[in-house]
Amino acid sequence: MAQRYDSYKTHAGKIQTRIGFCLYPDGKIKSVEPCGILGVNTPRGIIFTFDPDALGIDGESNSLVFSEDGSVKYILTSVAQITVFCRDGKEIIHKPSFKKSYYFDDKLAIVPMKISFSGECVYFGKRKSEISDAEYEISKCAFRIDDFVVKDCHNNCD
- Residue 88 pLDDT exceeds 70: yes
**Measured distance between the N- and C-terminal CA atoms of the chain, rounded to whole angstroms:** 19
Report if residue 140 sits inside a domain.
yes
Burial of residue 1 (number of CB atoms within 10 Å: 0-12, 13-18, 19+):
exposed
| Residue 140, phi then psi, degrees to nearest 5 | -105, 5
Report if residue 1 sits inside a domain.
no
Determine the pLDDT at residue 86.
94
Determine the pLDDT at residue 61.
73
Q: How would residue 153 be classed by pLDDT, with cut points 50, 70 and 90?
A: low
Report if residue 154 sits inside a domain.
no
For residue range 114-133, what is the model confidence (pLDDT) as tens digits?
Answer: 999 999 999 999 877 777 88
Domain range for 104 = 6-147
Report if residue 153 sits inside a domain.
no
Query: How many independent structural domains does the chain possess?
Result: 1
Strands 45-49 and 121-126: unpaired
Report if residue 15 sits inside a domain.
yes
Report if residue 106 sits inside a domain.
yes
